[in-house]
Amino acid sequence: MADTVIRYGFLALLAALIVFFAFAAPGFASPQSAVFIFQSVAITGILALGVTATLVVGGFDLSIGSVATSAMMAAAYAMVVLEQNALVAVLFCLAIGALVGLVNGIIIVYMRVPDLLATLGMMFLLVGLQRIPTEGRSIATGMTMPDGSTATGTFSPTFLALGRHRLDFFIDNLLPVSVVVLLVLAVLIWFFLEFTRFGRMMYAVGSNEKAAELAGAPVKAYKIWAYVISGVFASIGGILLAARLGRGDIASGNNLLLDSVAAALIGFAVLGAAKPNAFGTAIGALFVGVLLQGLTMMNAPYYTQDFVKGAVLVVALVFTFALSNRAR
Amino acid sequence: MEAMFRIAGLEKAFGPIRVLSDVDLELRAGEVTVLMGANGAGKSTLVKVISGVHARDRGTMHLSGEPFDPASPAEAIRAGVVTVHQNINDGVVAALDVATNLTMDRLTGKDAPLLFNPRRVRREAQAVADRLGLQVNLSASISELSLADRQMVAIARAMAHEPKVMILDEPTSSLSSAEANRLFAVVERLREHGVAILYISHRMSDIRRIADRIVALRDGVIAGVFADKPLDYEGAVDAMLGRAMDLSTVSVKDATRKVFEAKDLRIASQARPFSLAVGDGEVVAITGLVGVGKTALAETLFGVRRPLGGTMTLEGREYRPRSPADAIEEGVFLVAKDRAESGIVADFNLYKNMSLPFLRRLARLGVSQPRAERAIARRQIEDLGIVCRGERDRMQTLSGGNQQKVMVARWTAQPSSLLILDEPFQGVDIAARRDIAAKLRAGAAGRATLLLLTELDEALETADRILVMSEHTIVGEHRNAGLDMDRLLAQVAGEDIRGAA
């Protein structure tokens, strides 16, 4: 009985929530509403999947939010100031994400800085760094550069399509590209963690590092790779953010870190896993999305959102740690 | 002489399993009573009943003639029965300095002053240290001390209670021989103070050194009490094992083909180089006290650490592993010491634990093949007689012996050239130990098997050849048939080296 509750409790809660909103909020049970939910969680979901990889090896990455905003600024800078095309901008962002992940990993593995502190430091560093090239201004076409000239580049339409284009899926113009990216990445990381030997080893590293090492696993490499995955996923989130906004907005992305970490931690409770897992993370992100969309459609004020997210997180953590540990 | 502490007719069961039955025990003031017993004989349960952790089911306990009925460890300590546990770090707080540790018990309780007075603490700590002749810097932090010094602090701290009875639970299990000598000096001091000491150990060298009386416990029953001088050590071992040491169980084989060879190997900076060869089908045990370098040797052979000198050959080729992954690739496997810390992945079920080192071989294009992994696990469960419901059981549901069998199953699932097992019988009951030993001997053909064992009996039970290690080098070699026990024990105790120097 307790087992069943722990295993399916959160999924049942999600289903109940959807049924409740479908009756209570007119228009909730529609394809458009479903897509809107997916779109609202796409970026945080992608970041959460990345941070899941670091949680799996027993680490943590606090820098994901700032990697995403840095990638957004970098994309804007590449296109608006350096007048590059979409492909260059995307590759530039991915390289930044991979580089930051690599540096995080090296600091944590070789310099033995605790993961929370290392990535916290990296977060501050990036928050500051992304403002330097433009002296703290947001990036948009026609902006004045520090040397007095005007930036004449524009966001390429191909790039903007990543955030704005909608694919036809049964209904015309239904599925946003960002949602497709989320789904593809979710399936990819889920398959990687659950079904490949690399994923298995990453879980082993997270559960008992010494045992994994004595079983022949290159523990340091696995840990560094986890941070690289996290960095790259965060930069993909940043690319989608830039494409949606169409500018390098210095003030956006404040909530990314907390929302995505919450999604990953809520994921612990899904299916009674009591450990980081990609499926749970995706469900966790979806759960928060459904709840916020439903409450918004029932006219709950915007300022209650953070409270609701926090409450869900606390409940999920109690689920994970108190209930599932008791059952063992 | 009237006993300081007396137990009569003690019984204790956990559920249907009776752990102690009808145990009588006397401890006398100023005497060291050694309690011997194999793993699972009930030693720790007895200690826990005496120290107030478990309540007894039946029987009586008396301390200096008064009934003794502790409801909690704190009550037992207040009454004067103090236990120093096997795990040294349980007895000290690593973050605090020695002086605070020594007087910590005065920081709690009703009479403790509100304010912490460092000068008074220093004064009291000095008094406690002096009583035991403890030579430790009082302002040093515990984390700077060696294990032996921490142990001394834990004992000194226990002494602050002015105990009538002190229980030392395998106090030398993590000490080197030099450190153990310091411990014995302290035990002698306690004896002079008139403390009744219960000393739990199954290490013969300790027992020969300090025992006034020996009590052997086997399967929860007192199997023998030895008090007449000179003490009959062999009789005590016999009583503990319940049979005369039966060497005929091992039909000793001699290897024909060398599989692994080490020449002039040096594993510690001060150590003498040594050579070592293990043959096909041979089971070789390296025995020696804790801290003489057995684990260092295992780690050197397995690529965890580099040798300081010498060469190694495996199957005729030069063998120079740079990592455990290298070693595994070459066919050298290690069942590491302390399975909970360095073997078991607690989040994984049984079959995932078994397949862990061989995922590369078992996976196809990087995708793991659970069906193949589970088939191998089922075969190994059958083969080693692992008691479980199935290959998807969680590791925590298994008993210690079965967990260890899983570790052995992990490394015997694939063929190896050299299989090293570091303390494979640690925390394993006798039945499981026999199963594992029989399996190792039965499957020995085609590989070289190297066991690292602190307990001599385990070596005698399982090996074709026994090498003795002392101070990071090998000091003796014995064929396990009609071997010279006195010489072997002398080598274990490091006497040969001292004699030669």
Tokens found for residue B65: 């003639």
Å between A119 CA and nearest CA of chain B:
26
A204 near B CB under 8 A: yes
The reply to whether domains B5-244 and B248-331+416-500 share a CATH topology is yes
The mean pLDDT of B42-67, rounded to a whole number, is 86
Residues B388-444 pLDDT 10s: 888 998 888 887 788 999 999 999 999 999 999 999 988 777 678 888 998 999 988
Of B325, B343, B347, the CB nearest to A203: B347
Give the gap in angstroms from C-alpha B339 to the nearest C-alpha of chain A.
Answer: 8
pLDDT, residue A318, reads: 84
Ranked by mean pLDDT, the top range of A175-184, A295-304, B77-86 is A175-184
Contacts of A197 (CB under 8 A, 6+ apart): B359, B360, B362, B363, B366, B367, B368
The residue with greater pLDDT, B250 or B124, is B124
What is the rounded distance in angstroms from the CA atom of residue B279 to the CA atom of residue B287? 18
DSSP string, B165-233: EEEEESTTTT--HHHHHHHHHHHHHHHHTT-EEEEE---HHHHHHH-SEEEEEETTEEEEEE-SSSP-H
Pairs of CB atoms within 8 A across A/B: 72
**Which residues in A81-118 are b (16+ Cβ under 10 Å) and which e?**
beebebebbbebbbebbbebbebbbbbbbeeebebeeb
CA dist., res. A73 & res. A126, Å (int):
11
Residues B301 and B323: their CA atoms lie apart, in Å, by 10
Residue numbers of the domain that contains A284: 2-327
Nearest by CB: A201 against B302, B344, B359? B359
Quote the crossing angle between the two packed helices A197-207 and A219-245, to the nearest 10°: 110
Q: What is the mean pLDDT of residues B106-120?
A: 69
* Residue-level pLDDT at A15: 92
B306 to chain A, minimum CA–CA distance in Å? Answer: 15
pLDDT at site A1? 65
Contacts of A215 in chain B (CB under 8 A): 324, 328, 356-357
pLDDT digits (tens, 9 = 90+) for B481-495: 887 877 887 787 665
φ and ψ at residue B169, rounded to 5 degrees: -95, 105
Please compute the mean of the pLDDT values over residues B189-208 and round it to a whole number: 83
Residue A193 · residue A199 · CB < 8 Å: yes
pLDDT by residue (tens digit) across B18-51?
788 888 988 998 899 998 876 667 888 888 888 8
> For position A137, which CATH number holds?
1.10.3470
Rounded CA separation A74/A96 (Å): 9
What pLDDT shows up at residue B245? 47
Minimal CA separation from B365 to chain A, in Å: 9
| pLDDT greater than 80 at residue B193 | yes
3 state SS of A210:
helix
Assign B343 a pLDDT band (cuts: 50, 70, 90): very high
Q: Can you give the pLDDT at residue B480?
A: 86
Q: Calculate the alpha carbon distances from A111 to A115, A124, A168, B53, B273 in Å.
A: 11, 19, 49, 43, 34
Q: Which residue of A has its CA nearest to B324?
A: A216
Asked if residue B91 has pLDDT above 80, the reply is no
A306 and A259 Cβ atoms separated by less than 8 Å? no
> In chain B, what are the domain boundaries?
5-244, 248-331+416-500, 349-413
And the tokens for A243?
A: 């494409």
Query: Do B324 and B481 contact (CB within 8 A), yes or no?
Result: no
Angle at A20 between CA A19 and CA A22, to 5 degrees: 65
Does the pLDDT of residue B53 top 90, yes or no?
no
Nearest to A195 among B348, B362, B367 (CB): B367
Geometric angle at alpha carbon B231, from B227 and B232, rounded to 5°? 110
Average the pLDDT over B470-476 and give the result.
Answer: 88
Tokens of B99: 């002086």
Smallest Cβ–Cβ distance between B345 and the set A195, A208, A328 belongs to: A208
What Rg do the C-alpha atoms of chain B give, in angstroms?
24
* The residue to which tokens 């580049």 are assigned: A153
pLDDT greater than 90 at residue A215: yes
Binding-site residues on chain B for chain A (CB distance < 8 A): 302, 304, 323-325, 327-329, 334, 336, 341-348, 352, 356-357, 359-360, 362-363, 366-368, 394, 396
Q: Considering only CB atoms, which chain A residues are within 8 Å of B396?
A: 328
**Per-residue pLDDT at A323:** 66
Average pLDDT rounded to a whole number, residues B117-137:
78
Q: Is the pLDDT of residue B174 over 70?
A: no
Q: What is the pLDDT of residues B252-277, one digit of tens each?
A: 777 778 999 999 999 988 789 999 99
Instruction: Using the predicted structure, report yes or no on whether residue B16 has a pLDDT greater than 70.
Output: no
How many Å apart are CA B38 and CA B36, to the nearest integer?
7
The reported pLDDT for the residue numbered B278 is 93
Size of chain A in residues:
328
Nearest to A117 by CA among A68, A71, A63: A63
Q: Residue B13 and residue B15: Cα distance in Å, rounded?
A: 6
* pTM for the whole structure: 0.79
Instruction: Report the domain count for chain A.
Output: 1
Higher-scoring residue by pLDDT: A200, A136: A200
User: Cβ of A208 and B360 within 8 Å?
Assistant: no
**B497 pLDDT above the threshold of 80:** no
- Which residues have C-beta within 8 Å of that of residue B318, sequence separation ≥ 6? B311, B312
Mean of the pLDDT values across residues B447-464?
88
Q: How confident is the model at residue B297 (pLDDT cuts 50, 70, 90)?
A: very high
Per-residue pLDDT of B149-159, as tens digits, reads: 787 888 887 77
**What per-residue confidence (pLDDT) applies to A178?**
92
Cross-chain Cβ contact B342/A200 below 8 Å: no
Quickly list DSSP for A109-138.
HTS---HHHHHHHHHHHHHHHTTTTTTT--
pLDDT for B1 equals: 57
Cβ separation B344–A208 shorter than 8 A: yes
Q: Which chain B residue has the Cα nearest residue A203?
A: B347
Do B345 and A195 count as a contact with CB atoms less than 8 A apart? no
Q: Which fold has domain B5-244?
A: Rossmann fold (3.40.50)
Task: With CB atoms and an 8 Å threshold, state whether B347 touches A207.
Answer: yes
| Mean pLDDT along residues A73-86 | 93
Q: Which residue has the tokens 């045990």?
A: B285
Distance CA B446, CA B417 (A): 7
Beta-carbon contacts of B92 under 8 Å, excluding residues fewer than 6 positions away, are B101, B142, B150, B153, B154, B157
Looking at the partner chain, which of A200, A275, A328 has a beta carbon nearest the beta carbon of B352?
A: A200
CB contact under 8 A, A200 and B368: yes
Compute the mean pLDDT over every residue in chain A, rounded to the nearest whole number: 90
Q: What sign results for the dihedral spanned by CA atoms A188, A189, A190, A191?
A: positive
Classify residue A322 by burial, with Cβ atoms within 10 Å: 0-12, 13-18, 19+.
exposed
Give the pLDDT score at B110.
62
What CATH topology corresponds to B248-331+416-500? Rossmann fold (3.40.50)
B199 bridge partner residues: B34, B168
Would you state the pLDDT for residue B404?
Answer: 92
Measure CB to CB from residue B359 to each of A197, A208, A210 and give the nearest one.
A197
In this prediction, residues A127-143 reach a mean pLDDT of 89
Judged by a CB distance cut-off of 8 A, whether residue A214 touches chain B is: yes
Asked if B25 and B50 touch (Cβ cutoff 8 Å), the reply is: no
